[in-house]
Copies of this chain bind each other. A is one copy, B any other.
Amino acid sequence: MDQDMSQQKRPLTLRDVSEVSGVSEMTVSRVLRNRGDVSAATREKVLNATKTLGYVPNKIAGALASQRVNLVAVIIPSLSNMVFPEVMTGISDALDDTPLQPVVGVTNYLPEREEKVLYEMLSWRPSGVIIAGLEQSETSRAMLINSGIPVVQIMDIDGEPIDAMVGISHRRAGRKMAEAILKSGYQNIGFMGTQMPLDHRARKRFEGFTQALGKQGVEIMDQEFYTGGSALAKGREMTAAMMERSPELDFMYYSNDMIGAGGLLHLREQGISVPGQMGLAGFNKVELIDGLPQRLATMDSCRFEIGQMAAKIIASRNDPTLEPMSNVIELSPKIAYGDTLRRK
Contact = CB atoms under 8 A, between A and B. Distances in A.
Interface of A: 8-9, 11, 54, 56-61, 63-64, 69, 79-80, 82, 85-86, 88-89, 92, 101, 103-104, 106, 119-120, 122-125, 142-143, 146-148, 230-236, 258, 261-262, 265, 269, 287-293
Contacts of A231: 288, 291
A122 B57 CA distance: 9
A166 B146 CA distance: 42
Contacts of A57: 123
B58 A125 contact: yes
A59 B121 CA distance: 9
Contacts of A293: 265, 269
A54 B142 contact: yes
Contacts of A236: 291
B92 A124 contact: no
A79 B69 contact: no
B269 A291 contact: no
Nearest to A236: B291
A232 to B, nearest CB: 3
Given A148-B8, A265-B293, A293-B269, A288 B60 contact: no
A124 B133 CA distance: 29
A65 to B, nearest CB: 9
Contacts of A88: 79, 106
A207 B119 CA distance: 47
Nearest to A142: B54
Given A89-B80, A103-B103, A292-B265, A58 B235 contact: no
Contact of A61 (B64, B147, B234, B290): B64
A189 B8 CA distance: 52
Contacts of A106: 88, 92
Contact of A291 (B89, B119, B233, B287): B233
B265 A235 contact: no
A125 B11 contact: yes
Contact of A290 (B64, B82, B123, B232): B232
A267 to B, nearest CB: 12
A292 B80 contact: no
Nearest to A233: B291
A60 B124 contact: yes
B290 A230 contact: yes
A103 B190 CA distance: 42
A93 to B, nearest CB: 11
Contacts of A79: 79, 85, 88-89
A292 B148 contact: no
Contacts of A122: 56
Nearest to A80: B85
A40 to B, nearest CB: 24
Given A85-B85, A232-B288, A265-B293, A60 B58 contact: no
